[in-house]
Amino acid sequence: MKRKLVIVLVAALIGAGVGAALGYGPLLKYRSDGTLGVEMSLPEYKRITEVADAPATLHWLAAVVPLPAGLSAGERARLDAQVGQGLWHTPIPKVSKAEAASVPDALLQPDDDKRFAYLGVSLAYVDHDPVRAAQVATWLGTYFKEVAVHEALRSQVERWAAANRQFADRLQQRRLQYAFDMEQAQVRAKAWKTIVAGDAGAERRGSRQLADVPVGADRTLTPMAQLVGAEAAVIDLQGKMNLLDRQAGQQDFARPLIAEAQEALDKAKDGAGSLTQVSELVARYAKAASTDAEREVLASMAGDVSQIGARFLSQARFVALPSVPTSPQRPSPRMVIVLCALLAAFLGAAFVWRELLVKLLWEGDDEARTVKSEKTT
């Protein structure tokens, strides 16, 4: 009996050793969390994270943004796996589900803030080394910002290109429509001029109709008022045609800039570099601008680029820095040791008293057969 107890004790000790090897080895994991404050809309967050989760993006930016020093090949593979799974980022909504269900929408967010659904993003990384977990989680914040700047710029340039194509597609149609409307308005104005010129009392009778006020359905406009309205329509159409020509000049001037910006983004190595290249491109075109219309469209583009840089680089920062975790994730090493020791002790006891177990099983089976035969008789 004593020998059997010693065997069970030895099995428990061996199980504890295996548990220690597992608990302080592959199963030992420390999780470091941090919060990056950056306002984003839902489409922006989806676009940024889809690109950031791609292994190709990680490898591309890891060559530009230095990884923590001393990262081994195994740790790089672990980083690839965690980034590829997409579990390292979690959005932080401005309004929680509980608040959205209990508080009216108008009181939760002003209209100006509704396009930004998220206040920031929570970043996390799991590693066997707590210090390494904090270092990589901090690096992921820089990685997220670089991807966010690059994708926000790409999205903005795509909107510029789409607006430029849409304007070019409709330009000829709008010009023909305005030309037709102008011809009709000029014909009406000429006809009313002829009528007014042939009516000596038209100016006196229509003097009270010259003010730009609505006329009721029961009142008839005088020829002079009709003439003023026709000439006003001509002036309004001329203003629209001048504005269309101004916009056409702006779009023609911006078209090569947009093409160069797309090429620069395709060749950019990081987010900050792409922001610098597009900003320099806009500044170079600003020096070549010769009209107020060209300077106006460039000022608008420069404002868009500056806003992206401010939101994703200057203003985006860690609200809570990833800290070095003090306790590992569950299961803890001690729990693994205890569980492995108990499992090994149970298996050892089952092996030592295997004959007794077999005998008990056979006896239980015989009793079941006896009861069954009694019921049948």
Residue 122 within a domain: yes
How far apart are alpha carbons 261 and 280 in whole angstroms? 10
pLDDT given for residue 63 in this prediction: 87
pLDDT over 80 at 358, yes or no? no
Q: Are 71 and 150 in contact (CB under 8 A)?
A: no
- 53 shares a domain with 113: yes
Q: Are 65 and 139 in contact (CB under 8 A)?
A: yes
- 140 shares a domain with 170: no
Q: Kind and range of the H or E element at 293?
A: helix 292-309
How far apart are alpha carbons 189 and 194 in whole angstroms? 9
- 171 shares a domain with 53: no
Q: What percent of the chain has pLDDT over 90?
A: 49
Which DSSP letter does residue 201 get? T
Provide the number of structural domains found in the chain.
3
- C-alpha angle with apex 106: 159 to 114, nearest 5 degrees? 20
- 311 shares a domain with 162: yes
Average pLDDT, the chain: 83
pLDDT given for residue 327 in this prediction: 83
Residue 283 within a domain: yes
pLDDT over 50 at 217, yes or no? no
The whole domain housing 377 covers 1-28+329-377
How far apart are alpha carbons 57 and 50 in whole angstroms? 10
pLDDT over 50 at 213, yes or no? no
pLDDT in tens, 5-35: 777 777 777 877 877 777 676 677 889 999 9
Rounded to whole angstroms, what are the CA distances from 53 to 40, 80, 208? 17, 9, 71
Residue 322 within a domain: no
- 235 shares a domain with 197: yes
Residue 120 within a domain: yes
Average pLDDT over residues 288-310: 93
- 309 shares a domain with 338: no
Residue 321 within a domain: no
Average pLDDT over residues 48-62: 92
- 112 shares a domain with 188: no
How far apart are alpha carbons 153 and 160 in whole angstroms? 11
Average pLDDT over residues 62-69: 88
Indicate if the alpha-carbon torsion angle 12, 15, 17, 23 is positive or negative: negative
- 200 shares a domain with 56: no
pLDDT band at 212 (very low <50, low <70, confident <90, very high): very low
How far apart are alpha carbons 140 and 67 in whole angstroms? 9
Residue 324 within a domain: no
Using CB atoms within 10 Å of the CB of residue 244, give its burial: 0 to 12 exposed, 13 to 18 middle, 19+ buried: middle
Residue 304 within a domain: yes
pLDDT band at 218 (very low <50, low <70, confident <90, very high): very low
- 172 shares a domain with 149: no
Q: Are 264 and 180 in contact (CB under 8 A)?
A: no
How far apart are alpha carbons 14 and 292 in whole angstroms? 84
How far apart are alpha carbons 51 and 143 in whole angstroms? 11
Which of 287, 316, 345 is a domain's end point? 316
Q: Are 144 and 121 in contact (CB under 8 A)?
A: yes
Which of 282, 316, 350 is a domain's end point? 316
pLDDT given for residue 214 in this prediction: 47
pLDDT band at 110 (very low <50, low <70, confident <90, very high): low
Lowest model confidence (mean pLDDT) among 311-320, 322-331, 362-371:
362-371
How far apart are alpha carbons 160 and 260 in whole angstroms? 12
pLDDT given for residue 201 in this prediction: 53
- Across the beta sheet with 118-127, the strand order is 89-93, 118-127, 30-40, 317-320
pLDDT in tens, 132-181: 999 999 999 999 999 999 999 999 999 999 999 999 999 999 999 999 99
pLDDT band at 343 (very low <50, low <70, confident <90, very high): confident
- 287 shares a domain with 211: yes
Check residues 182 and 327 and name the one with the higher pLDDT.
182
- Chain-centre distance for alpha carbon 63: 23
pTM of the model: 0.75
Residue 342 within a domain: yes
How far apart are alpha carbons 139 and 363 in whole angstroms? 65
- 293 shares a domain with 226: yes
Average pLDDT over residues 314-326: 90
pLDDT band at 207 (very low <50, low <70, confident <90, very high): very low
pLDDT over 70 at 328, yes or no? yes
Rounded to whole angstroms, what are the CA distances from 368 to 155, 258, 305, 355, 361? 74, 85, 82, 20, 11
- Give Cβ neighbours of residue 87 (< 8 Å, ≥ 6 apart): 124
Which of 270, 292, 316 is a domain's end point? 316
- 225 shares a domain with 81: no
